[in-house]
Amino acid sequence: MKRDPSRLRQEILRLEETRAPHIRALLEAREPMRRGSFVTLHRKCGKPTCHCADDMGHPAKYLSLKNAGRTRLVYVGPAEEVAFAETNSRYRRFRDNRTTIAKLSKEVLSLIRRLEVALVLPDPKSAQSKRGKGRREKSRDDS
Specify burial of residue 87 (Cβ count, 10 A radius: 0-12, 13-18, 19+): middle
Residue 70 β-bridge partners: 67
Summarize pLDDT for 61-112 with one digit per residue, the tens.
999 999 899 999 999 999 999 999 999 999 999 999 999 999 999 999 999 9
pLDDT value at position 27?
Answer: 95
Summarize pLDDT for 31-51 with one digit per residue, the tens.
999 999 989 999 888 888 888
More confident call, 11 vs 137: 11
Total structural domains within the chain? 1
131 is a domain residue: no
Domain that holds residue 108: 5-120
pTM of the model: 0.71
pLDDT value at position 143?
Answer: 45
Distance of CA 55 to the CA centre of its chain: 40
125 is a domain residue: no
Spell out the long-range contacts of 98-104 with Cβ–Cβ below 8 A and sequence spacing 24 or more.
98/26, 100/19, 100/22, 101/19, 101/22, 101/23, 101/26, 104/15, 104/18, 104/19, 104/22
135 is a domain residue: no
Lowest mean pLDDT among 1-10, 22-31, 108-117: 1-10
pLDDT value at position 2?
Answer: 59
